Amino acid sequence: MHGENAQGKTNLLEAIYYLATSRSPQTVSDRELINWIADKQDPAPYARLATEVARGARVRQVDIALQKEPVGAHAAQRFRLRKQIRVDQAARRALDLVGQINVVLFRPQDVDLVDGSPGGRRRYLDVTLCQVDSNYCRSLSRYNRVLSERNALLKQWHERRVDPDEMAYWDQQLVRYGVTVVTARRKAVGELGQRAGELHYQLSGGKERLTLIYQPSFDPGDEEDTPALQAAYQAELKRHRADETARGVTLVGPHRDELRFLVNGEIDLGIYGSRGQQRTAVIALKLAEVAWMRQRTGEWPILLLDEVLAELDVHRRNFLLAQVNGIEQTLITTTDPHLFDPAFLDGTWLLQVEGGRVTERQGLPGQDQFDGAEIKPFGAANDS
């Protein structure tokens, strides 16, 4: 999929990602997904995404609508956002949506996954795991609710007499769901790391071996069974009790965990890695994620690659495209389709994006063949 900058290529990938995960990779606020023109001109601005998903012999319909509704006496100035998710025309929660479409997204800014904030790495793990493990998604949601309640109680610690049984209850719930989250993350990082390590070794020309290290905020040691992990978590909460009550916040749990990228067993890429090394690590991780998702679900995820080829050298570009050739469905955006070998383009859809409209091409720009068939407008209007 090619086109000049600011024509809407990334919008299309964002739409697919949003339909799969109910969240945007570009912004944390759903309000920003409504077209700014509609937001200014329409008294009830909205955005809507709809698609059909073929999984085996079954086709499912997925539909997400965002509607800004006026609130209160000053309706012209105040709005609330209503989000409605439908699967096969039936209303569903976001938890029920995740897993209907599986996607792996790689953007140039995803290099920040290596040296960016720990929160970004935790979000990566959460989005990845939620797509393949509904129990993880439910446990994570419950953990976050419990964490909010426990933090509220800690903030009140010095304002009122807190019932020890009340704190013990929230500790128990935090440990229950937190251990489920930590266990799933630790297993996933181990599996992803094994695949990513092999891919990274090939990408680096046999010079570097990548290792992914998951670091829980409490030390589980070599424990694998749930009761032992729960005991270790409980002990760490007790050890931090004075600190937590003084600061009014929970200091131990999966919301404080870390994921590190090491090469050759000792070099932390987040601290010492060059931009090229970090990019190679993320490419290896994303390709590993594709294979891992297929193993977990029995189906290929959709791979979304946004403007990544231009930043790669020839070796890494060819390696990436060779891996893509074996994946069932991939969408790649570029401003320069001539980066692709003509042999790679045989049997592929070549799409051109211009002014928010997608058309199918036969042949590269500059060649005579072009059927001009319009696929679907998006981005320029409210419906996508």
Report the CATH number at residue 218: 1.20.1050.90
- Grade residue 267 by pLDDT with cuts at 50, 70 and 90: very high
pLDDT, the chain, mean: 88
pLDDT of the residue at 325: 86
Bridge-based pairing of strands 330-333 and 302-306 is: parallel
pLDDT band at 72 (very low <50, low <70, confident <90, very high): low
- Assigned domain for 102 exists: no
Residue 17 placed within a domain: no
CA-derived radius of gyration, the chain = 23
Give the three-state DSSP class for 302.
strand
**Which residue shows structure tokens 């893509």?**
324
Q: Rounded to a whole number, what is the distance in angstroms from the first to the last CA of the chain?
A: 17
Task: Report in angstroms the alpha-carbon separations of 148 from 74, 144, 276.
Answer: 31, 6, 39
379 — pLDDT class (breaks 50, 70, 90) = very low
**pLDDT at residue 375, as a whole number:** 44
Q: Higher pLDDT residue, 72 or 369?
A: 72
Q: What is the pLDDT of residue 131?
A: 95
161 pLDDT higher than 90: no
- Name the band, by pLDDT with cuts 50, 70 and 90, for residue 380: very low
More confident residue, 178 or 2: 178
Residue 191 lies in a domain: yes
State the residue range of the domain holding 231.
117-125+134-276
pLDDT of residue 373: 43
Q: CB–CB of 331/295 below 8 Å?
A: no
Question: Is residue 67 in some structural domain?
Answer: no
User: Quick check: is 341 in a domain?
Assistant: no
What pLDDT shows up at residue 338?
A: 82
CB–CB of 287/200 below 8 Å? no
Q: Which of 234, 218, 147 is nearest to 182 (CA)?
A: 218
Instruction: Give how many domains the chain has, as a whole number.
Output: 1
- Cα separation, 52 vs 60, in Å, equals 6
Residue 216, domain member (yes or no): yes
Residue 1 included in any domain = no
| Structure confidence at residue 363 (pLDDT) | 58
Neighbours of 115 (CB within 10 A): 16
Give a yes or no: residue 375 inside a domain: no
Is the per-residue pLDDT at 182 higher than 90? Answer: yes
How does pLDDT run across 298-326, given as a tens digit for each residue? 999 999 999 988 888 888 988 998 998 88
pLDDT at 365 over 80: no
